[in-house]
């Protein structure tokens, strides 16, 4: 009888799934290639591929890179520095020069220390020994003591420069050395990415936000000095930039964690207030720089940085009447 049937034991033909078509050069259709541009990922044939530092790039990506190089702009709009370490070296030299000044003028008991270190309120010093002071004596009471005492103003008493000069002042060599070593490792990396002007703004505004935290959270009669607030600002900025590009932030988080642990459990009197304020300020500035839209990017970045600086000054101004 007719009809179809399956014969038991007959081998079935192997099944071959359809294969994906071989990639073809986007500029020469039909030209099979297994080379891909390292920047955009498009397939390119040997005729179109241009050797780069790592792998190959397509002509369009090379042209875009050349335009960016001619414009001398970094990834976030800042002008590329020919020597990214120059600003860091200048900052290190300034800190070292201030340290020499403090040593030559008597260190903790010298006039330079009391004028450059951050003091939320002034101090009444004994004239015969500037290392001693009259606790609780205000400017009027200090003046009533005559030649026995000298009044050294703080920020709330008319010495606003201390908000920044304190970030360049150190007494102990280990304190200076650790901060400058951290600055040397962090500074050139950040300047290479965001440019010299933005890096300098990052450093100074981070120092300012660190001083603002000291004004609000520290003992009003204390004195604070050191570049640690600005250095923590650089750490916060680097963390934000690494997270922005979805990079590996483990080493930065480890370094930050060690510094935080040293801040709270290390020997001596360490200003956790300045560290915290600098960290928050640096992270905020980096976020402004990294997430500003490309259209009018420079204007938005500088407006945001200026706005943060003004906000910080307003917070300090609000604190002054409470201290005075």
Q: What is the pLDDT along the chain (324 residues), one digit of tens a residue?
A: 444 444 445 555 665 566 667 888 888 888 888 888 877 888 988 888 887 645 688 888 877 766 655 467 888 988 888 899 999 999 999 999 999 999 999 998 888 999 999 999 988 888 777 667 777 777 788 888 887 888 889 999 999 999 999 999 999 999 999 999 999 999 999 999 999 999 999 999 999 999 999 999 999 989 999 999 999 999 999 999 999 988 888 888 888 888 888 777 766 678 899 999 999 999 999 999 999 998 999 999 999 999 999 999 999 999 999 997
Identify whether residues 54 and 181 lie together within a single domain. no
Q: Is residue 31 included in any domain, yes or no?
A: yes
3-state secondary structure of 130: strand
228: annotated active-site residue = yes
Identify whether residues 34 and 97 lie together within a single domain. no
Domain containing 104 — which CATH number? 1.20.1540.10
Identify whether residues 51 and 105 lie together within a single domain. no
Range of the domain at 281: 86-119+159-323
Number of domains into which the chain is organized: 3
Identify whether residues 235 and 135 lie together within a single domain. no
Identify whether residues 177 and 39 lie together within a single domain. no
Q: Is residue 78 included in any domain, yes or no?
A: no
Q: Is residue 76 included in any domain, yes or no?
A: no
Identify whether residues 197 and 281 lie together within a single domain. yes
Domain boundary (153, 171, 196) is at 153
Catalytic residue chosen out of the listed positions 123, 228, 269, 271: 228
Identify whether residues 101 and 126 lie together within a single domain. no
Q: Is residue 4 included in any domain, yes or no?
A: no
Cβ contact 205:312 at 8 Å: yes
- With b meaning 16 or more CB within 10 Å and e meaning fewer, what string describes 13-38? eeeeeeeeeebebbeeeebebebbbe
């Amino acid at each position: 009888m007719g009809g179809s049937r399956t014969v038991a034991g007959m081998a079935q033909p192997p099944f071959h799934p359809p294969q994906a078509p071989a990639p073809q050069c986007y500029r020469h259709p039909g030209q099979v290639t297994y080379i891909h541009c390292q920047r955009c990922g498009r397939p390119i044939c040997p005729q179109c591929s241009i050797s780069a530092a790592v792998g190959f790039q397509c002509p369009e990506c090379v042209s875009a890179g050349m335009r960016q190089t001619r414009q001398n702009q970094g990834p976030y709009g800042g002008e590329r520095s020919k020597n990214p370490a120059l600003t860091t070296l200048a900052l290190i030299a300034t800190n070292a020069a201030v340290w020499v000044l403090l040593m030559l003028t008597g260190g903790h008991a010298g006039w330079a220390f009391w004028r450059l270190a951050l003091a939320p309120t002034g101090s009444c010093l004994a004239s015969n020994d500037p290392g001693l002071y009259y606790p609780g004596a205000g400017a009027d009471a200090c003046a009533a003591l005559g030649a026995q005492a000298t009044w050294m103003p703080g920020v709330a008493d008319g010495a606003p420069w201390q908000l920044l000069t304190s970030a360049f002042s150190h007494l102990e060599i280990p304190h200076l050395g650790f901060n400058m070593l951290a600055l040397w490792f962090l500074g050139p990396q950040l300047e290479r990415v965001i440019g010299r002007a933005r890096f300098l703004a990052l450093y100074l505004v981070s120092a300012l936000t660190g001083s603002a935290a000291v004004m609000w959270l520290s003992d009003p009669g204390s004195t604070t000095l050191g570049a640690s607030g600005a250095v923590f600002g650089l750490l916060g900025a680097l963390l934000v930039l690494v997270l922005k590009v979805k990079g590996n932030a483990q080493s930065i988080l480890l370094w930050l964690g060690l510094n935080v642990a040293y801040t709270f459990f290390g020997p001596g009197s360490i200003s956790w207030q300045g560290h915290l304020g600098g960290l928050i300020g640096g992270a905020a500035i980096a976020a402004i720089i990294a997430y500003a839209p490309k259209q009018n990017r420079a204007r938005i970045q500088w407006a945001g940085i200026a706005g943060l600086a003004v906000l910080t000054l307003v917070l300090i101004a609000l604190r002054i009447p409470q201290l005075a």
